[in-house]
Amino acid sequence: MEYPNELELIKHLIDGDEKAYRYVVQAYHNNMLYVARSIVGPAIADEVVQEAWVSVIKALPKFEGRSSLKTWVIRIVSNNAKTRLRRESRNVAMGDASDMEALNVPSERFQENGHWSSPPQQWNIASPDALLVSDELKNTIYTTIEKLPPIQQSIVTLRDMEAMPMLEICKVLDITESNSRVLLHRARAKIWQAIEKYQGNQNVKL
Amino acid sequence: MLSCKDITKLASDHIDNNLPPLMRMKVKMHLFMCHKCRDFVNQLRLTVNTLKNLNPVQPEESFVNKQANDLMEIARKLKSDDSSNNKH
């Protein structure tokens, strides 16, 4: 990325540099959207994110650098979304109840005694670099993430891809740490399944 | 004894070093004896490491351009409101 540090980036934003604006939209917008969807639901998430962007721009000159800019932005979206939720006194199911029954690895893959009946397939790749060489596989992973329930999308993106601390994520999404760990595992297990399926198709082709 | 199904539920916490010591030991014992679960845990670890190396999903370029322009417009407006307020 072209900015040596965040202060430089913020300076460019305050000066109205188009490149800096494109950079932050690219880097932050989807994360903001995931967090908003997790809290207020998909219907008004876009609106909440747009409001949050305006708050961000207004508050930018006052940013003190006590957290990273990304964390600060995510907190603003989260606060805006929570305020919006209270104002509309809407009840959106947090913690994606619809998915509560789903097991991490489908139970059809186990015998009644809990042993594997359909064990993991062998993978013919052994490093992340090797996995990411294939655009097809990259797209499979992206599509799987896009299809996850919003709260799992937020957690797996912020934790595994953005390396945000788990406690920060819990605060932003207003969930307990044990709940967040369950949801993180569920998201990872779905991505594992998608990679396994992709691997299986590759083996058929070979 | 933990079953294979139990191991698949604990796998993320094991990978993230988040299990209490006794449970961690039990998981390790199972993994020592069961190559299927070893495969699973290794594949899940590979999945997590792959995610760490992957850029998050990014918005479409046309969206990025439009959004960036809209935001700059808002920033300009805020600035000019500010300076006209200061004059009064």
The answer, yes or no, to whether residue B24 has pLDDT greater than 80, is yes
Domain residue ranges of chain A, discontinuous segments joined by + = 6-87, 97-205
- How far away is chain B from the Cα of A90, in angstroms, using its nearest Cα? 28
Q: pTM for the full model? A: 0.88
Q: B39, B10, B42: which is closest to A120 by C-alpha?
A: B39
User: Which residues in chain A touch residue B12, judged by CB atoms under 8 angstroms apart?
Assistant: 181, 184-185, 188-189
User: Per-residue pLDDT tens for A161-193?
Assistant: 999 999 999 999 999 999 999 999 999 999 999
Task: Report chain B's mean pLDDT, rounded to a whole number.
Answer: 92
B61 pLDDT higher than 60: yes
Contacts with B65 from chain A: Cβ below 8 Å = 22
Q: What percent of chain B has pLDDT over 70?
A: 95
What fold, for A97-205? Arc Repressor Mutant, subunit A (1.10.10)
ipTM score assigned to the predicted complex? 0.89
Residues A192-206 have pLDDT tens digits of 999 999 988 876 665
User: Which of A30, A57, A125 shows the shortest C-beta gap to B56?
Assistant: A30
Helix (H, G, I), strand (E, B) or coil at A6: helix
- Per DSSP, the three-state class of A190 is helix
Higher pLDDT, A73 or A5: A73
Interface size A-B, in CB pairs within 8 Å, comes to: 133
Whole-number average pLDDT of chain A: 88
Q: Give contacts of A196 with chain B, Cβ < 8 Å.
A: 43
Q: Which residue has the higher pLDDT, B48 or A130?
A: B48
Confidence of residue A91 (pLDDT cuts 50, 70, 90): low
**For B8, which of A57, A105, A125 is closest by C-beta distance?**
A105
Concatenating the DSSP letter of every residue in A11-64 gives: HHHHTT-HHHHHHHHHHHHHHHHHHHHHHH-HHHHHHHHHHHHHHHHHHGGG--
Mean pLDDT across A127-140: 87
Task: Say which CATH class A6-87 falls into.
Answer: mainly alpha
